[in-house]
Amino acid sequence: MIKISFPDGSVREFEAGITGLQIAESISSRLAQDVLACGVNGENVELNRPITEDAQLVLYKWDDKEGKHAFWHTSAHLMAEALQELYPGMQFGIGPAIENGFYYDVMPAEGTVIREADFVNIEKKMAELIQRKAELVRSDISKQDALKFFGDKGQTYKNELIADLEDGSISTYTQGNFTDLCRGPHLINTAPIKAFKVLSVSSAYWRGDEKRPQMTRLYAITFPKKKLLDEYLVMLEEAKKRDHRKIGKEMELFMFSELVGKGLPIWLPKGTMLRLQLEDFLKRIQKRYGYQQVITPHIGSKNLYVTSGHYAKYGKDSFRPILTPEEGEEYMLKPMNCPHHCSIFAWKPRSYKDLPLRLAEFGTVYRYEQSGELHGLTRVRGFTQDDAHIFCRPDQVKGEFTRVMDIIEIIFKALKFENFEAQISLRNKENREKYIGSDEVWDKAEAAIIEACEEKGLPARVEYGEAAFYGPKLDFMVKDALGRRWQLGTIQVDYNLPERFQLEYTGEDNKKHRPVMIHRAPFGSMERFVAVLIEHTAGHFPLWLTPDQCVVLPISDKFNDYAEKVKAQLEEAGVRAIVDDRSEKIGRKIRDNEMKHIPYLLIVGEKEAAEGAVSVRKQGEGDQGAMSVSDFAGKVIREVKEMTESY
């Protein structure tokens, strides 16, 4: 007999060799129908994997991240099987589950091109294969056998992957006539897959290397119910309307220029106003929490990043070093701000009385991204982080960490990101090679984050292997208005960079001590945050944040001068206003400016000019009546104050 422990703390005994599915059946038949995969002692496995020793068991359903992963990973194999039958001679790369669905990178036979028009045939073939309810059979095989098996099938990409694996750690999964190199886990069979859609086709370099062949990447998604697919497709249509690239162009917030360079956003006047409002907002909060603003150069000596360890870890993702006329002198575009801030700390002797030292900077950094990976403001080559680094004593870590959590909570509340969750990102349990620093300092840093979350009452899921190379972190995952998850704010505890830079302060005992460093960026990057904010609000920003709070619309050209006078009065009062003096009918002006998501439309004609008034229309609410210019300005100022005074 073996003991199985459940998440609720209960323990039950079963015969050794029982499976997760059998345990689910022993609890209830409904649970057995819904469960998709299980976790055994922290390892996610199939429901038919025998459990032979005492174990902690978690049963995963569709609503669980792990359940979706097994579902979509299996679906990737199903689509690959369909492609194999439809396109003889196709080679297969990788087919992972992703946050929404899955993709598969394939290399069709020469002369074969997969287009959007082919999606229907792929879906028909998938439907045909699902009817077979094929079981997925796992096989653990030797490296030699794996190389021979895939080599005989002409699968050169699979053999390249196998070459990087250690013997004894290789497994395959077979369903029907398709066998794939895979670690799992998967569904027991393909029967639970009820609805599916091939979404798009693109190209992707093999293993992300621009020097390697371009493969065909097919994105798709599947669901256990057709209703879920229908809802998802409706969400995709709404997402197209909210696309930050589309709205950003309509509102004239930002642009890109091939001449300037790919992935280098240019903030237009209205976008700059929006961004500066966000920066000023955070600066006001930071001032209350004792931060000091700094500015550091856009480049740094290559040795700076060698010292920090960033060059060894991320050198390949950086731009090429900048060589100067001086022999042996190399600089780099700044890929991150923390090494510069370490240099500020080291600039002069520090005492325990000086700590915590909180340095904040809206620092622009540069990282090389492949052209195919660039996407609007969410994936760029130059971006500005709302970065700050707190240097503190070990006994101050938890208190400083919770204060940063307070700042992030204020920001999310102000911008109506009310649906968010936290993720504690820790080291990989097995592979510790990619992390710098001793187990002792890592244990301290990880414990500080876990305890801070417990004290704040913040529920947080733990993800192993997601930590930064120098320390664990707390990431905030926000759900937008469409239910999509975005990683925004992050806080990281770091005992390692202070060690690498030999940072020290004089303690109360008059001895030298190492400070602890906390990295934090509530927005993450200004570019990505604005993109998420645009899509969350569909461009309807809060009144305090929107670039143009109102637009003055003269009903004819002869009232343009009065419109300009109104604008001047409003700006003098602190209200951001513009004038639409085009020679268009007033109805057209109203429609056009409503499309730009301007909160207030002020219509002026003969009556308004005579009375020193404006006729007010509010976005989404229509006519608000007439009022004096000063009364309207007071109304806007009060609304903004009500929105922001609690922040």
Catalytic residues: 338, 367, 385, 387, 389, 473, 519
Joined together, the tokens standing for residue 564 give: 């300009």
Spatial distance between the Cα atoms of 45 and 65, rounded to a whole number of angstroms: 14
Q: Which two tokens stand for residue 578?
A: 């513009």
What residue type is assigned to position 500 of the chain? R
CA distance 512 to 504: 6
Phi, psi of 307 (to 5 degrees): -60, -45
Beta bridge partners of 103: 219
Which residues are bridge partners to 383 per DSSP?
365
- The CB density around residue 334, as the number of other CB atoms within 10 Å, is 22
Euclidean distance between CA atoms 113 and 86, whole angstroms: 12
Rounded to the nearest 5 degrees, what angle is found at the Cα of 19, between the Cα atoms of 13 and 21? Answer: 105
Sort 241 into a burial class: Cβ within 10 Å, 0-12 / 13-18 / 19+. exposed
Amino acid (one-letter) located at 148:
K
- Give ∠ CA 523-525-526 in degrees, rounded to 5: 85
* Angle subtended at Cα 635 by Cα 631 and Cα 637, rounded to the nearest 5 degrees: 115
* Cβ atoms within 10 Å of 370's Cβ, excluding its own: 16
The Cα 351–Cα 295 span in angstroms is: 23
DSSP of 337-363, one letter per residue? SHHHHHHHHTTS--BGGG-SEEEEEEE
Radius of gyration of the chain (CA): 29
Q: In residues, how long is the chain?
A: 647
Identify the DSSP state of 575.
-
Task: Supply 376's token pair.
Answer: 């609007």
Is residue 265 within 8 A of residue 380, CB to CB? The reply is yes
Paired tokens of 82: 């369909």
**CA-to-CA distance for 177 and 185, rounded, in angstroms?**
19
Listed residue (532, 533, 518) closest to 360, CA to CA: 518
579, containing H or E segment: strand 577-579
Element housing 178 (H / E): strand 178-181
DSSP state of 544: T
Asked if residue 356 has a cis previous peptide bond (ω within 30° of 0), the answer is yes
In the sheet that holds 613-618, the strands lie side by side as 577-579, 550-554, 600-604, 613-618, 622-628
Provide the token pair at 14: 């079963």
Q: What are phi and psi of 556, to 5 degrees?
A: -155, 170
CA proximity to 148, closest of 181, 107, 110:
181
